[in-house]
Amino acid sequence: MINNKLLFATTLIAIFTIYYFVFGIYRTIQIVTAEYLLILLIAPILLAISYYKRKLKYFEITDYIKDSRPTLKSTIIFFLVFQVVDYYYEGGFEGMLKLWFVYWIYGIIALLVMRVINYYKNYRVLFG
């Protein structure tokens, strides 16, 4: 099993390193700022997490979403399938690379939404 925080931290570093060498700093900044709506979508999710954390501060949190950590094998296979599809449908190598940051943001959003769902289920159990 992979630690999600470690996976996202290392992949972000890898993405920006590859972007820097392939696209340069100016183009990398353009790629990141083009996804400002997805980045802004993270803010309300973080607000929901902070709300539930405050409400559940003194209670034990039960993990209702078990086994949400992927295996390394499934992560690599999932990544490779998307790379092949993106290579053909997004204009080759450059188009494929541009989508890495978008997928990274989608992964962060999915991880945060799972946390909100888990907090919500705990909240419903404790407060009806």
* pLDDT tens string 65-77: 876 667 778 878 9
Q: What is the pTM of this model?
A: 0.88
- Contact call for residues 52 and 119 (beta carbons, < 8 A): yes
The whole-chain average pLDDT of the chain stands at 91
Residue recorded with tokens 């820097």:
20
Say what the pLDDT of residue 85 is: 93
Q: Could you say which residues of the chain have pLDDT below 70?
A: 1-2, 67-69
Q: Which long-range contacts (CB under 8 A, 24 or more apart) does 3-11 make?
A: 3/69, 4/68, 4/69, 4/111, 7/70, 7/75, 8/104, 8/107, 8/108, 8/111, 11/104
How many CA atoms, within 13 angstroms, populate the side-chain half-sphere of residue 78? 10
Q: Which pLDDT belongs to residue 73?
A: 86
Q: Are 15 and 108 in contact (CB under 8 A)?
A: no
CA angle 96, 100, 106 (to 5 degrees): 130
